[in-house]
Amino acid sequence: QVQLVESGGGLVQAGGSLRLSCAASGGTLSVYAVCWFRQSPGKEREFVAAISWSGSFTKLADSVKGRFTISRDNAKNTVFLQMNSLKPEDTAVYYCAAGTVVGTRLDDYRYWGQGTQVTASS
């Protein structure tokens, strides 16, 4: 079992940057693929980025490619999402999740954090 806690969200001006962190407890993240999803009011939760257990393979949604970067530090049991050039449409609650494959669907992941709010103002 693993518990995930997101942090680093906040309010920034459009064009600004934030770095989100996903920290694990109760187990090691090194054996899991980890992803980020986001959900804004009235919308479905959507895939943002994923990273393999080793960090050698990543996937990014087209909407964030070139702006966001996912990385991990297994020694610190933490996964990061660096978000640059933020747009108002990036505003959402961001969730991290862990699973056994580098998937893009909600049910690819077993363990979920509680989310952190990201707001990019215009």
pLDDT given for residue 28 in this prediction? 81
What integer is the mean pLDDT of 11-38? Answer: 94
Give Cβ neighbours of residue 42 (< 8 Å, ≥ 6 apart).
none
Q: What is the pLDDT of residues 45-65, one digit of tens each?
A: 999 999 998 999 999 999 999
Which residue has tokens 């989100």?
Answer: 20
Both tokens of 121, joined, read 């103002």
The stretch 21-39 carries a mean pLDDT of 92
- Maximum distance among all Cα pairs of the chain, rounded to whole angstroms: 40
Instruction: Give the strand pairing for 18-25 and 46-51.
Output: unpaired
Token code pair at residue 66: 């070139």
Q: Residue 42: which region, alpha, beta or left (left: phi > 0; alpha: psi -120 to 50)?
A: left
